[in-house]
Amino acid sequence: MKDSLVTCTRCGSDACYTQDMGADYVLELCYGCGFTTNNLMKEDSEFLAEQLEVLPELYKDLIFKDEEGKHWIPSSVNNLTAGMVFANGSTVKDWKWTAVKAIPLLEEDLDKFPEDTTHKMDMGNAKNFSERDYIEALDYIGLFNPTTK
């Protein structure tokens, strides 16, 4: 596997992380705008069609097609002990990144969750971030904290 930072073809940020997974499969995640793609996310691909079947309408509306024909979609992060970050809003003109911190379960709540669950998402601490503040949303939930698993 080879990792590198390149310029994002969606937003122009120099914080686009690429990971060559081998077998001609390359993932891209831009920490500038928060959108992601891979070389299978092209028009008429089975992979893209499968994604479109399950994506929320907002995510579908926000898809960006770059000059190489790759479709970029908003990323979603769901870290069980840190929190989650997702695109949230009603239209492409009125959306933000929403970041929600995970909090430890109280002893009396353990039986309400699957075994081995230690945290839950606390929508009470949800915070919104602008499109270009995706990395700040990740930082808000502590994703860059070395103690986060």
pTM of this structure = 0.88
Residues 71, 63 contacting (CB under 8 angstroms): yes
Domain range summary for the chain, segments of one domain joined by +: 2-74, 77-140
Residues making up the chain, counted from first to last? 149
What is the rounded CA–CA span in Å between residue 35 and residue 124? Answer: 25
Q: Dihedral sign, CA of 30, 21, 139, 81?
A: positive
> Is the distance from CB of 32 to CB of 134 less than 8 angstroms?
yes
- Each residue of 65-117: pLDDT tens digit? 999 999 999 999 999 999 999 999 999 999 999 999 999 998 888 888 888 88
